[in-house]
Amino acid sequence: MSTPAAARVDVPADPTSPGATHTAPTAPVGLRAAPVAPIRVAAGQATLVPLDVPANVATAARLVARAGDAGAALLVLPELFLTGYDLPAIVGQPRRYPLRPDDSRLDVLAAACARARTAAVVGAATHDPERGTLHISAVVLGRDGARLGRYDKQHLDPAERAAGFTPGRAGCTLALDGWRLGLGICWDASFPGHALAAGLDGCQAYLVSAMFDRGAGVRKRALLGPARAWDNAGYVVVANHCARSGPYVGCGGSGGWGPDGTLLADAGLDDPGLAVVPLEPAAVAEARAGDLPLADPSVDARPGPRELITVA
């Protein structure tokens, strides 16, 4: 499948507003291309202190250290990890709980990333001061601790919309060590087109920050991970809550699935827990060597607008 290279325009970057580049809705070249070298991606989980951002940043920093010791290039943490899933309180005090541009509360996590040489994707509420909007976001820190940007959840559930959050306007791809990694947040993963858009942007893995509870969330976690992996012939890594967060109790199971849908790592209910998922170029190449749905002529090869964040 041969398509024009994606057009891009620069957009400004700050810690709570995605930076790098904005990708126009055109399909990339090289859906069957595989990275050269393997990497490890970790998914973490832990009990949080409700609405205590500094305490939860410290927990995130400890998980980054563990991920670095395990050789992970990147750690993914659950949805709204820095506050917990307490929507009314977050919306009720938008100047207190959501992250702000250049928020110093991230300094401890940034320092941990730099020490471990491990990047992090951490779930947080964010506030856009220019538009006055609140978002459920995945904030990206580099291996040197630099704030690289964020992804805002595109598919909000009815409770999140009713609370006053605003959906994101673009998807997000991370470029890391030759890999392209698409970001998703919880309900995003219930929409096959969301992961498909990442695949059409050349992503070989789909990383999800989640709140899957111990009710219906158990089946969601068990079904969506392998389904999205199989759909797109790529890896899926999910970081999920494992304890109470707002009105829910997370079912844990942070982990990852291979391109054929096989479960590769599972943190179970460990608290704190860490699952390290090996991403192998050969597995991607094998999965994408045969009949590839991503490359089928019937697929609309326009993934929609996306941000590209490069992790050095």
- Give the pLDDT score at 1: 30
- Give the pLDDT score at 298: 86
* pTM of the predicted model as reported, rounded to 2 decimal places: 0.91
Let me know if 80 is exposed, middle or buried by CB neighbors in 10 A (0-12, 13-18, 19+).
buried
How far apart are the C-alpha atoms of 225 and 206, rounded to whole Å? Answer: 9
Going from the C-alpha of 154 to that of each of 28, 52, 71, 141, 268, the distances in angstroms are 21, 25, 31, 20, 28
- Give the pLDDT score at 14: 41
Ranges of the chain whose pLDDT falls below 70: 1-29
- Give the pLDDT score at 17: 44
- Give the pLDDT score at 117: 98
- Give the pLDDT score at 294: 87
Sorted by where each begins, the domain ranges of the chain are 38-283+303-311
Decide if domain 38-283+303-311 falls under CATH 3.60.110.10: yes
